[in-house]
Chains A and B, each alone.
Chain A
Amino acid sequence: MIIPNPGHGRRVRREGKAMDAAPIINKEWVMPSQFGYEKDLLREIGSVLAPFSPLEARLEDIKTAVSEACLNAMEHGNRLDAACPVTVQLKIDEAVYHFRIYNEDHAGLTLPGDTAPADKWNAEEPRGWGLMFIRSLSDRFEFGHCHGKFYVDITFNR
């Protein structure tokens, strides 16, 4: 079960002209590093974004990019240790949907360089497509380390 963080989730309305970075929505979820939990998250994301009426194709892009980031965090970040959580934060403001996906930072994890599709096809296990999906489907993608955790930031323009 993914757990909404009780410290988040309040809808904040700002009167008058919205400031660029003023969040309309702040949500956070925590899930164990076990494949399948990302699906529950996608349903929650769909519910949160529904009032903003993104196009269906756009919503599918968002769900795929976020789920792939979660899968990477589970497998490569937390090594599928169910006791290590993956945390997903969502901030929505007037301009963007902004996701931050956290996992434990084992020995300074960095993302691998993206290999060419032809090289992936010829590999014995043709994996590693998640990073390509995240980069291609989002409007901005960054990663880094913060307070002992590794994070991936994915931004979608509204």
Chain B
Amino acid sequence: MESPLRITKRLTEHALVLDLQGDLSKQAEEKLIALQDWEQGLDQGRLFAVINLTGVPYINSMGIAVLIRLVRTLAKSGCQTFAYGVTPHYQKLFRMVGLTGYMMIYPDEYSIMQRIEGLREAP
């Protein structure tokens, strides 16, 4: 049966990190989309969102649709989304649906934070 999805929010200096645990499926709609008003952007004016999928063993097409909605909404409010902890198989599915054009996948949180520093320092 499905593992319930649990979401933990963390704030770093420049990013909002969402640590996901459990299955990314239909249930993600009410838990992730309803977590906050994403159309208002991120906490305290942050421009970067990081989704940690290390603790997500199962993703189906309904979960991917929820990710698309989230990434799309954040992009409209000027926020860039990153993800890590994505298995090669799910990276392939994300590429197939075009999600990797809007959500950059990195091997770990440290490399994402390095990238964010680079983006912030860019002229």
CB within 8 Å of B: which residues of A? 35-40, 57, 60-61, 64, 67-68, 71, 117-118, 120-121, 125-130, 132-133, 136
Centre residue among A129, A130, A133, A136 by max chain B CB count within 10 A: A129
Chain B's closest residue to A38 (CB) is B60
Chain B residues whose CB sits within 8 angstroms of the CB of A39 once the complex forms? 1-2, 23, 58
In the complex, are the beta carbons of A60 and B64 less than 8 A apart? no
In whole angstroms, what is the CA distance A26 to B58 when docked?
A: 26
Chain B residues whose CB sits within 8 angstroms of the CB of A35 once the complex forms? 2, 25-26
In the complex, are the beta carbons of B96 and A127 less than 8 A apart? no
In whole angstroms, what is the CA distance A117 to B93 when docked?
A: 12
Given A126-B65, A127-B65, A129-B65 in contact, is the A36-B89 Cβ separation under 8 Å?
no
Taking chain B's interface residues, is the majority helix, strand, or loop, or is none over half, making it mixed? helix
Given A57-B88, A71-B62, A129-B61 in contact, is the A64-B1 Cβ separation under 8 Å?
no
Taking chain A's interface residues, is the majority helix, strand, or loop, or is none over half, making it mixed? helix
CB within 8 Å of A: which residues of B? 1-2, 23, 25-26, 58, 60-62, 64-65, 68-69, 72, 87-89, 93, 96-98
